[in-house]
Chains A and B, each alone.
Chain A
């Protein structure tokens, strides 16, 4: 038996290394001096046929690129702030607008509910590019192009969090709702006192997923925000990769950190929320 268990570890550890190596590389890379980065991974980026040298630890660990980024690169802070300015309203919007809608789709019985649910699923699956032209025109007519709301509003009304929350609300036992109704609770009261507390895992799961989605968004800000001073980090980073290897390394790590911290904080709920989606009553 013990031997069998050990065998299961082998592929899992191998797969796990694929993840941890990436994180390790990013942490170590940001502790390397520019000279060392140029000597080790530089050849792959210049493309002159030089050989990449993989090192596990930096020869001379240094905080210089980090200090340089924090002290000499004010635009980095602007981008960081720009990212938060997009992420927080988007996720709050998904919560305030999405949760009641998900509750309605999950718990009310009305004509057209199934079709509406299918519409949400269909819109959730449509790649951004399918509607980018009319999207652009609508936002333009509303005077929102180059405004952060051009990115925030479509995210806030996104169908994906609604889908996740519907799955969570579906798992709320019917008996509890009937009990609430017998106690004279109206629809709003039931939603507030029964639905929200019991649906918390999937609501939080939707928020974690929403955060990660907007935090790494590329297409929407690229299409709707023309002014580079309003760009989030996700657009700014790929641009400095070529010129500023040291800075890019540190900036990559700093961009990764909030997402990973938020993820680790929400992992328990994320798992519960995903689980709610995976099982049918």
Chain B
């Protein structure tokens, strides 16, 4: 009898994690996972979600000029912004380290924009950039906004990565006669690889949040150069163009999933 109880108890302990995970997973399922699966389903059905129409919406979306514009802009934005942010924040981190005792004030300064609500800076942005919003420079205003907002966060990540590199490595390299450039190239950069993974994924995350700025500063129909997928989704939502919205959203999600799977190596801990 006691033995049976022991076995039961041991099995209960094996599934204890479910109690920790259940509330969050339930909510994630209801509010994100099932809605996402429903988006995929709807992309194959008509607007009312009743009749199966196969790939029709996808074909319509791919041939849609607005979608092509928005997809190109979004891809271009991500492809330009993320490398720029990664490099600028790394350079900033190195500079802050080079002036070590005075770094604090700059850390605060660069993190501060993260705390500035979009709605608060709309007015200022309209005053400063208003003249640029009706030309191709609008795209670069968005790039600037993104960099302005997110450099600090990534800089802190880089600083943590830099701090975690052991001094003995540099000392050993120094003894072997390595130049500073060589130390940077062969010690610093390789050691920063894990940080690079998280910096990239968060940069990607924040690149989608820039839509708030774009929307509030320039409205639902901004200049062509900064018309992003999210503008398009929003406008299709307003027009109840549900099937095409779902098909386009599914395609975007598929691209994101491929990126995440490619980057998975950076998150997996090597413990098991």
Hey, which bits of chain A sit against chain B, CB under 8 A? Answer: 4-5, 8-9, 11-12, 15-16, 18-20, 22-23, 25-26, 29, 41, 44-45, 47, 52, 97-98, 100-101, 103-105, 108-110, 114, 116-135, 137-138, 153-154, 156-157, 159-160, 162, 167, 170, 186-187, 191, 212, 215-216, 218-219, 223, 233-235, 237-238, 241, 245, 248-249, 252-253, 255-256, 259-260, 262-264, 267, 270-271, 274-281
Contact = CB atoms under 8 A, between A and B. Distances in A.
Given A19-B109, A218-B216, A52 B127 contact: yes
Contacts of A278: 156-161, 195, 198-199
B28 interface: yes
5 contacts: A117-B267, A119-B28, A125-B208, A130-B249, A274-B160
A228 B114 CA distance: 27
Nearest to B162: A278
Given A16-B109, A101-B23, A260 B116 contact: yes
B87 interface: no
Given A135-B31, A278-B157, A238 B116 contact: no
Contact of A104 (B21, B110, B229): B21
Interface string B36-52: 10110010000000000
Nearest to B25: A101
A170 B269 contact: yes
A100 B157 contact: no
Given A125-B208, A133-B246, A212 B115 contact: yes
Given A12-B106, A138-B31, A44 B215 contact: no
A108 B19 CA distance: 12
A48 B99 CA distance: 46
Interface residues of B, number: 98
B245 A133 contact: yes
Interface string B187-204: 000000011001101001
B124 A129 contact: no
A8 B117 contact: no
B39 A131 contact: yes
Interface stretch (B135-143, B167-175, B256-264): B256-264
A126 B36 contact: yes
Interface string B3-14: 000000000011
Contacts of B230: 127-129
A263 to B, nearest CB: 4
Nearest to B270: A280
Contact of A279 (B119, B121, B195, B245): B195
A238 B42 CA distance: 33
B62 interface: no
B158 A122 contact: no
Contacts of B119: 216, 218, 233-235, 237-238, 252, 255
Contacts of A127: 208, 211, 229-230, 233, 252
B223 interface: no
A262 B14 CA distance: 40
Interface of B: 13-17, 19-21, 23-25, 27-28, 30-36, 38-39, 42, 91-92, 95-96, 98-99, 102, 105-124, 126-128, 130-131, 148, 151, 153, 156-161, 163-164, 194-195, 198-199, 201, 204-205, 208, 211-212, 215-216, 229-230, 233-234, 237, 242, 245-246, 249, 252-253, 256-257, 260-261, 264, 267-269, 272
Contacts of A103: 20
Nearest to A281: B269
A73 B143 CA distance: 36
A12 B88 CA distance: 11
A129 B233 contact: yes
A14 B131 CA distance: 23
Contacts of A9: 99, 102
Contacts, number: 282
B113 A19 contact: yes
Given A233-B119, A278-B158, A279-B161, A15 B110 contact: yes
Contacts of A129: 229-230, 233-234, 237, 249
B161 A215 contact: no
A114 B268 CA distance: 7
B56 to A, nearest CB: 17
A123 B237 CA distance: 20
B110 A16 contact: yes
B130 A110 contact: no
B260 A133 contact: no
Contacts of A116: 21, 25
A121 B260 contact: yes
A20 B36 contact: no
B195 A26 contact: no
B58 to A, nearest CB: 15
A101 B20 contact: yes
Nearest to A208: B115
Question: In the complex, which of the residues B15, B120, B124, B216 has the most CB atoms of chain A within 10 Å of its own CB atom?
Answer: B120
Contacts of A260: 112, 115-116
